[in-house]
Amino acid sequence: MAVPAAPWLLLPFLLLAPSLAAAAVSEADALIAFKSTLSGAGAGAGASAALANWVPGTSPCSGNRTLWRGVLCDEGGRVLGLQIENMSLSGALTLDPLVDLPALRTLSFKNNSFAGPIPDLAKLGALKMIYLSRNRFSGPIADELFDKMRSLRKVHLSHNAFSGRIPSSVAGLSKLLELGLDDNAFEGAIPDLEQKGLTFVNLSHNQLEGPIPKGLSRFNASMFEGNKNLCGPPLDVSCDITQSQSPRSPAKKKISPTLLVVIIVIGILALLSIVGLFVFILVSRRRRQLDEANLVHLQSAETKKFDAPEADKLDRGQQSTAGVLRRRPIRKIMESCHLSGRGARALRLRICLGLQLKFSGVEISGLPTRPPCSMARR
């Protein structure tokens, strides 16, 4: 015969029932609010059709059994995760309503059409797994996004349009097991991932550059293909060759201010040297021309320097001796002047013969115009 249970033994269950029901209603309300953001973001009837059994007033979980599509439940009947995949949902992804799900550990929105920047995952600091692959997310990811998400084990963001650098906060995820960032537009160096428990990494088909961290060299080379400027193991590309052939971005090789000043000063000095050399050549050429002009002037002045009485004598005697000069050959005239030696010949010709000797209609320039030696001695 069964012994009826004492009423007081049922009292704890009766007291906990309202709180459990309230918790279930609270989580259901949070999910309904989240569904409304999908519709308001442009998903429209698609969200309503895909999540048709998300009905207000009902519970998403019954123990660990799921009652709503895409909801994962734990043993206590709380929402453990959302697996909203392959539902053709679109628009921006807002996670604010999900803050009211304290047991939430997994988010998966793979293979939809969500767009815009990556949602603020830091609001859900207890997450362990994130799957946003094969959507239309774009833009850079904040470097500190994962700073407060120390429980993360799996991060999959592949097949989107994320750009910029891989967040360095990924390196601080000590429990990280999987990282999928392939088929995006990430650039720059790979963070130094040293997690010993890391079992999967895919960084292929991005715009990454530089050496692959040693902690990742154990993975297959296919996990890094499609990045033109990556080097080092497991790739068969030497970092020395890659760095010499690949153009570096200006941000990576900045010219120091001191070096810039030195380059400018050297350039100015070189320019001044060229200008100085040009001026020196012009001045030297001008001076040479002036010297030549002065020399010609002096020679001309010297040839015209005569005493007036001597010039008068030459004028009077020149007419009387002109005929004799025409008849006498030059050789006889030079012999009559007793010329010998090159220097003496020049001097005596200048004194005896004058500036010009005219005979037989021939002029000899450069000689002084004086009568023959006999007349010069008088």
Mean pLDDT, residues 107-128 taken together = 95
The predicted-structure confidence for 10-28, as pLDDT tens digits, reads as follows 444 444 444 444 444 489 9
Q: How much is the pLDDT for 241?
A: 56
Asked if residue 102 is part of any domain, the answer here is: yes
User: Mean of the per-residue pLDDT values for the chain?
Assistant: 78
pLDDT at position 113 is: 92
pLDDT at 306 over 50: no
DSSP-assigned beta bridge partners for residue 108: 83, 131
Q: How confident is the model over 201-247, as pLDDT tens digits?
A: 999 999 999 999 999 999 999 999 999 899 999 999 888 754 544 44
Nearest to 222 by CA among 210, 235, 232, 212: 235
Amino acid at 329: P
- What pLDDT was estimated at residue 363? 47
Rounded to whole angstroms, the Cα distance separating 312 from 248 reads 93
CA-atom Rg of the chain in angstroms: 54
Mean pLDDT across 264-283: 89
Mean pLDDT confidence for 88-105: 94
Average pLDDT over residues 153-172: 97
Is 313 contained in some domain? no
Angstrom CA distances, 2 to 5, 11, 14, 165, 241, stand at 9, 20, 22, 70, 86
**Domain range for residue 90?**
27-231
Is 363 within the bounds of a domain? no
| Residue 267 lies inside a defined structural domain of this protein | no
Instruction: Report the SS3 class of residue 367.
Output: coil
Query: Tell me, what's the pLDDT at 14?
Result: 43
Residue reference for tokens 């030079």: 334
Q: Is residue 291 part of a domain?
A: no
Say which CATH number the domain at 149 has. Answer: 3.80.10.10
pLDDT at residue 253, rounded to an integer: 52
Closest CA to 361 of 318, 333, 320, 325: 325
Average pLDDT over residues 76-90: 94
Q: Is 243 exposed, middle or buried (0-12, 13-18, 19+ CB in 10 A)?
A: middle
What pLDDT is recorded for position 293? 79
Asked whether residue 280 is assigned to any structural domain, the reply reads: no
Residue 355 domain flag: no
- Domain-embedded: residue 95: yes
Task: Determine the Cα–Cα distance for residues 359 and 345; give it in Å rounded to an integer.
Answer: 19
- Count how many domains the chain has: 1
- pTM, full prediction: 0.59
Q: Please write the tens of the pLDDT for every residue from 53-65.
A: 999 999 999 999 9
CB 180 within 8 A of CB 204: no
